[in-house]
Every structure is written in C-alpha cells, then in structure tokens.
Chain A
Amino acid sequence: MEKKEVLVLKDILGTNKKIAAGIREKLRTKGILSVNLMSSPGSGKTTLLESLAGRLQGRFRMAVIEGDIETELDAERIRAKGIPAWQITTGGACHLEAKMVGKVLAEVPADLDFLFIENVGNLVCPASYDLGESLRFVLLSSPEGDDKPKKYPEAFLSSHVLVLTKADLIPHLPFDPARARREALEINPCLEVFEVSALTGQGMDVLEAFLVSALEKLRSGHA
C-alpha cells in the first residue's frame, strides 16, 4: 500500500462559476440585461419587481425567474402583472445556483430586454453563488435596520447596486438611511445606492432610469 499526498488546488465553487460565465455570455450576446436580486425574506424583492413591471411594460420586454424554497406564490404575483415568470422551488436549499437558472433559461424567450432573477430570501448564502447575472442587487428594507451591511458584509461586497426599500416607512422607524449607505459604501465603494418605496413610487423613476441606461450600456458593449 502506497500513501501519497496529492495537490489539488481547485475552487469548490468552480463548476458553478463556469456555468454562470456561460449564462452571462449567452444573455449578453442576446442583449438581455440580467439582474440577480438578493435580500432577506420580506425586504420587498417581489414588490419591487411588480412596481418595475408596471413601469417598464409597453416599452420593454421583461421576464422573471423566481427562487423560493416552496410555492409558486411569487411567480403568480408577477404573472398577474402580465409578465412571464418561472418559479424555481429549491425544496429546502437556501440559495439559487447557476445550474438551476440554466435549466429554466431553456424555456425563457430570447427576445427580452430584462431578465430578473429573484433569489431565495436570505442575506447570507446567495452571495456565494454567481448566477450569470450582469448586475447584482442587494435590497435592504428600512424595518430590517441600518446595521445590516456590517453584519452581512458578503452580500454587500459582491453586489453592484444597493436598493434601500420601504423608504416610506423611514419616518416611523429608527432607521438611519445615511448610516446604511455609509457603512455599505465602506464595504464596497462601487455600490450604486437607491432609496425607493415601491408602494408610493418614491425613487422608482431614478432606479428605472438606471436600469434602462445599464441596458443601453450592455448593448453598446460598455458594460
């Protein structure tokens, strides 16, 4: 019997990263801007998408991939807005992986402008999985508290955009948007920060303009 030490040096997330890179390239070639939305459960990801659906409809074509542990509820909410939606139920897994998205993509039409992927509500695990998105959004709602960026740094570190949601509730809460913004920017100074209320429409025009400009950049090859 021979004993041997073997050097491996392989990234455990390597397979996921490879699948994600393939998805990103495929979507980019088709001129589709893909957005991965991450946040705790109840931060308003689906409500934000419902609001965006109302704003983009007519001028842009969008579709949504919903990730949840159980139920079709979120996909049904999006479909009720007239937007095609696919539900991935992970059956217990706390995050989406690139291969789950890849499977659904086969059914998603290619003539799209925006593809939103709503991750499983969880501010920890989804941060480790690239889904092949062009932009990663992290949402933080005012009731969650302004201390979350420092407590869950990975999610903020890996995102391009921070959306502070439920801004209409800020006057009633001890939530300091300046602190949330400052501490998130300390972690990741490249973050674009938006403060919105999907319910009242506050700030949604600025977020919508950002998305449209990101789509233009992607198509002109500057993204």
Chain B
Amino acid sequence: MHELSLVAGLFEILEEKARDEKALRVTAVTLRVGRLSGVVPELLETAFDTFKKGTIASRAKLRIEVVPLKVRCRSCGEESLTDEPVFVCSSCASPGLEIMEGQELTLQRMEIEKDG
C-alpha cells in the first residue's frame, strides 16, 4: 500500500507542470500503470481522491490506462502481450523473458483550464 506515497510524487510533477502552463485548474489526469508495476489501480484512485483536496486538481478526474505486460523471449525472439504475469516463453518455453512494457508508472497527460 504505497499508493499514497506515489500520489504525493505524482502531485509534485502535476503542480509543477500546471505552474509552467499557467493553468487555473487541472480537470483530468491520465496515468499509465503497468500490469507489473506493483500498483493497484483502485487504491491509486482512492489515494488520488484523498490527495487532490485543496490542490489545483481538486476536481480532477483520474483516468488509469493499465498497460498489459509485453515480453520478448531472449532465446527465440517471440513477443507476446499478456494480462497475466508470465515468465516463460509460450513458444519455446525458455525462461527469462525481457519485459518491454508493463512496469511503467507514468503521468501521461493532463487536461487544464487557463485564461485565454
């Protein structure tokens, strides 16, 4: 349950970006959360809703894009996408798959309102 500490980090980035953009408010925030990032999207939502109070994003909607696991076999080169963690190649049964996607935790984009 380290979601609250992640959200604190998220808000540092969000508030800095909002200042740079001279935003009046942030209305939506989109995160990309890897299937194997160690984060539970529901807990992230709860943490976000707790943290946003009194900030420039107090009414912001959180959108979470869950990124499936994309792995590549180091032996045969087979690439596959999966929702479940797999660590053995489905084609040649070699272990030690290279993880190409699915571990990220990225503030992808946000929607803001500003004067103009």
Residues of B close to A8: CB separation below 8 A: 13-14, 17, 107-110
**A1, B114: Cα distance in complex, Å:** 6
In the complex, are the beta carbons of A157 and B36 less than 8 A apart?
yes
Residues of B close to A6: CB separation below 8 A: 17, 21, 109-112
Main secondary structure on chain A at its contact with chain B? mixed
Residues of A close to B12: CB separation below 8 A: 15
**A125-B1, A187-B87 known; A12 and B10 CB under 8 Å?**
yes
Q: Does B78 contact A (CB under 8 A)?
A: no
In the complex, are the beta carbons of A93 and B5 less than 8 A apart?
yes
**A144, B99: Cα distance in complex, Å:** 27
Cβ proximity bits B27-53 to A, threshold 8 Å, 1 near / 0 not: 100010000111100000000000000
Residues of A close to B95: CB separation below 8 A: 185-187, 189
**A124, B17: Cα distance in complex, Å:** 30
**A108, B9: Cα distance in complex, Å:** 27
Residues of A close to B24: CB separation below 8 A: 1
**A161, B58: Cα distance in complex, Å:** 43
Q: Does A49 contact B (CB under 8 A)?
A: no
Within 8 A of B (CB), among A3-38: 3-16
Within 8 A of A (CB), among B64-116: 85, 87-88, 95-96, 99, 104-116
In the complex, are the beta carbons of A4 and B21 less than 8 A apart?
yes
The 8 Å CB contact of B87, one of A7, A14, A127, A186, is A186
Q: B3 → chain A, closest Cβ, in Å?
A: 9
Residues of A close to B88: CB separation below 8 A: 186
**A10, B29: Cα distance in complex, Å:** 12
Interface size on B, residues (CB 8 A): 38
In the complex, are the beta carbons of A15 and B9 less than 8 A apart?
yes
**A189, B97: Cα distance in complex, Å:** 9
In the complex, are the beta carbons of B115 and A153 less than 8 A apart?
no
In the complex, are the beta carbons of A128 and B2 less than 8 A apart?
yes
Q: A94 → chain B, closest Cβ, in Å?
A: 6
In the complex, are the beta carbons of B108 and A12 less than 8 A apart?
no
Q: B9 → chain A, closest Cβ, in Å?
A: 5
In the complex, are the beta carbons of A153 and B36 less than 8 A apart?
yes
Q: B12 → chain A, closest Cβ, in Å?
A: 7
The 8 Å CB contact of B96, one of A2, A13, A190, is A190
In the complex, are the beta carbons of A94 and B2 less than 8 A apart?
yes
Residues of B close to A5: CB separation below 8 A: 109-112
Q: Does A133 contact B (CB under 8 A)?
A: no
**A200, B25: Cα distance in complex, Å:** 62
**A150, B9: Cα distance in complex, Å:** 29
Q: A191 → chain B, closest Cβ, in Å?
A: 10
What is B's interface to A at a CB cutoff of 8 Å? 1-2, 5-6, 9-10, 12-14, 17, 21, 23-24, 27, 31, 36-39, 85, 87-88, 95-96, 99, 104-116
21 pairs, A vs B, C-beta closer than 8 Å = A1-B113, A1-B114, A3-B111, A4-B21, A4-B23, A5-B112, A8-B13, A8-B17, A10-B13, A10-B17, A10-B107, A15-B12, A125-B2, A125-B38, A128-B6, A128-B37, A129-B2, A150-B85, A186-B87, A186-B88, A188-B96
